Chain A
Amino acid sequence: DQQVKQNSPSLSVQEGRISILNCDYTNSMFDYFLWYKKYPAEGPTFLISISSIKDKNEDGRFTVFLNKSAKHLSLHIVPSQPGDSAVYFCAATINNAGNMLTFGGGTRLMVKP
Chain B
Amino acid sequence: DGGITQSPKYLFRKEGQNVTLSCEQNLNHDAMYWYRQDPGQGLRLIYYSQIVNDFQKGDIAEGYSVSREKKESFPLTVTSAQKNPTAFYLCASSRQGAARKLFFGSGTQLSVL
User: Which A residues are CB-close (under 8 A) to B109?
Assistant: 41
For the complex, what is the distance from the CA of A32 to the CA of B43, rounded to whole Å? 17
Closest chain B CB from A88 CB (angstroms): 11
Q: Indicate which residue in A42, A95, A104 contacts B42 across the interface (CB closer than 8 Å).
A: A104
Tell whether A113 is near chain B: CB-to-CB under 8 Å: no
Interface size class of B (residues with CB under 8 A): 20 to 34
- Of residues 31 to 58 in B, which have CB atoms within 8 Å of A's CB atoms? 33, 35, 40-45, 48, 50, 58
Contacts of B43 in A (CB 8 A): 44, 89, 101, 103
Q: Which residues of B sit under 8 angstroms from A101, Cβ to Cβ?
A: 43, 45, 99-100, 102
A-side binding surface: helix, strand, loop or mixed? loop
Q: Give CA–CA (A2, B44) in the complex, Å.
A: 11
Q: A97 near B: Cβ within 8 Å?
A: yes
With a cutoff of 8 Å between Cβ atoms, the chain A residues found around residue B99 in the complex are 93, 97-101
A104–B35 Cα distance when bound, in Å, is 13
Interface residues in chain B, defined as those with a beta carbon under 8 Å from any beta carbon in chain A:
4, 6, 9, 33, 35, 40-45, 48, 50, 58, 90, 92, 96-107, 109
